[in-house]
Structure 1
């Protein structure tokens, strides 16, 4: 374990130190859920810092690993990773500070201090997004050892960048805020209803209205899901002969990447219509079914072609 940690720290030291700090914070905020019974907008006061600490830990770890895949532009990679880590520190520090006071961190314009903190968060996120895009361009310019990983990273980076960008959909006053019906806030997670209604445990996603955190979360974590999917295909290649063909695995990654992107578009459309993620209507379910059927049919075709190619190679031998 110590050897693994030592190797990981060499990926990008600031990012990996930040990852460890977020793991410690996740443990601390989990304890906070049990020892502090305060609520904010109907959710435990420490739920939001817990969510962000886990998400930032995964995010920083992933970027540390991605930077380790390239030996080019070493200094640029170090600076971009350091900017990502510093932006994460500022973001989580404000979230924890506001949670400790029992105040909202996002969309809060209740006092001069709240306005200042939210403005700092907005600036920090803008810097993080810029560094994220530049980092993605840097990683995309490097061809990986195999095409499967290359395509998993390419699609994951693009969809992830779009998912992060969806955070902008939460900014700006809602109709109720514009009419002066809700004071002290500009922007919201929920579409069609005020923030703070019934939501999923820990995640807090609205169970009665649209929630823009869903596409933001799902899109952002394409960067973890698709490379893991590529790794899973490689692990199964020993048991499923059709997957031994790299071309088949590339096709499956492309199919899964397309299906994942379509799913992100679907949950975005669902949220913007004011519909809860856990209460899809007929139109949402129909489109979801089409995505699943299309992906399954395309995957079956790719696997069948792989088997045919394997049979032909055995015959030729």
Structure 2
């Protein structure tokens, strides 16, 4: 009797039984053209901030106040890092390719507009925000305010998208992205409140009060903006450790709790110092 052919075997893919394990984003994916543009633009803004730190060291002058080299330094570094972070985090948010491209391109252009306006006014030796002294200064100030509104719209759209569909990525990334965007929205609201109050005071003839009105909200604004970078970076870093999914998830939750406590502290300070 002839031997029967061996039965073909088929290997089924192994699937995680954990109910909250999100799919992992593809590794080794080449950056899209808009992502390369955002990376290059963000790097240029960071370099601009560092160069103005050198200018400050050489030229001197006050670090605080409405006219100082602090503004092109901090805004260049902050906008550059935020642009790179948002571009990277957006790769975990489930969006149509065209929607992601449009949002990132507009965001990059707006970041350049904000830093360019602030840097221009620093070199002119005049305040960048709430400055209505001349028609040109008014145009720059209002363009910064409009640009801030555009930033709020784009980042809020990304935040909403992260909650509508669970973000991809390794263990803890979905929580890190959602918490990062939620805290970022708090920072955006603080920034909008700063702009609204400053513009109102300036328009009603209280320009010096307009400059001083933002002081109490600055810590809340600054702390909240960078949660979208810190928390996802932590989740991504933990993916390279030998720790269990449960441990990684616990660490991300602890980090979210600590960051939330810092935001609550900054908010409390803003209320007390207002």
Q: TM-score range by the shorter chain?
A: 0.7 to 0.9
TM-score (norm: length of structure 1): 0.67
Kindly tell me: are residues 66 and 11 of structure 1, through their superposed partners in 2, closer, same or farther at Cα, counting changes over 3 Å?
farther
Q: Where in structure 2 are there 5+ consecutive unaligned residues?
A: 1-28
**2:165 pairs with 1:144:** no
State the secondary structure of the residue aligned to 1:45: coil
Matches within 5 A, 1:4-15: 10=33, 12-15=35-38
Q: Is the 8 A contact 1:107 1:187 kept in 2?
A: yes
Kindly tell me: are residues 251 and 35 of structure 1, through their superposed partners in 2, closer, same or farther at Cα, counting changes over 3 Å?
same
Distance 1:123 1:57 in 2: 19
Question: Which residue number corresponds to residue 50 of structure 1?
Answer: 73
Question: Which residue number corresponds to residue 43 of structure 2?
Answer: 20
Which of 36, 47, 51 aligns to 2:59? It is 36
The one of the two structures with greater contact order (alpha-carbon pairs below 8 A, sep at least 6) is 2
**2:268 pairs with 1:269:** yes
Which of 191, 201, 207 aligns to 1:167? It is 191
Question: Which residue number corresponds to residue 24 of structure 2?
Answer: none
**2:68 pairs with 1:68:** no
Matches within 5 A, 1:296-311: none
The more displaced of 95-104 and 220-229 is: 220-229
Kindly tell me: are residues 40 and 149 of structure 1, through their superposed partners in 2, closer, same or farther at Cα, counting changes over 3 Å?
closer
Question: Which residue number corresponds to residue 155 of structure 1?
Answer: 179
Larger radius of gyration: 2
Distance 1:133 1:117 in 2: 24
Q: Report deviation, 1:63.
A: 1.5
State the secondary structure of the residue aligned to 1:105: coil
Question: Which residue number corresponds to residue 217 of structure 1?
Answer: 222
State the secondary structure of the residue aligned to 2:172: helix
Q: Is the 8 A contact 1:105 1:114 kept in 2?
A: yes
Distance 1:131 1:27 in 2: 27
TM-score (norm: length of structure 2): 0.77
Q: Is the 8 A contact 2:170 2:239 kept in 1?
A: no
Which of 228, 231, 234 aligns to 1:229? It is 234
Q: Report deviation, 1:245.
A: 2.4
Q: Report deviation, 1:66.
A: 1.8
Matched residue pairs, number?
Answer: 243
Question: Which residue number corresponds to residue 250 of structure 2?
Answer: 251
Q: Report deviation, 1:117.
A: 1.5
Cα deviation code 1:129-157 (max 9, x no counterpart): 10111122334424323331111111111
Q: Where in structure 1 are there 5+ consecutive unaligned residues?
A: 1-5, 192-209, 239-243, 276-317
Cα deviation code 1:179-201 (max 9, x no counterpart): x8x7435634556xxxxxxxxxx
Distance 1:46 1:245 in 2: 47
Q: What is the RMSD computed on CA atoms of the aligned residues? A: 2.9
